[in-house]
Structure 1
Amino acid sequence: MNKTRHNIKDILIIVLYAALANADTWEQIADFTLWKDEYLRPYIGLKNGLPSHDTIQRKI
Structure 2
Amino acid sequence: MTRAIDDILARHATDTYSVVDELHAVPPYRVHAVRVDGRRAVLKPDAHPRGEAAVDGRG
Normalised by the length of structure 1, the TM-score is 0.34
Q: Which has the higher contact order (CA 8 A, sep 6+)?
A: 1
Larger helix proportion of the pair: 1
Larger strand proportion of the pair: 2
Structure ID, larger Rg = 2
Normalised by the length of structure 2, the TM-score is 0.35
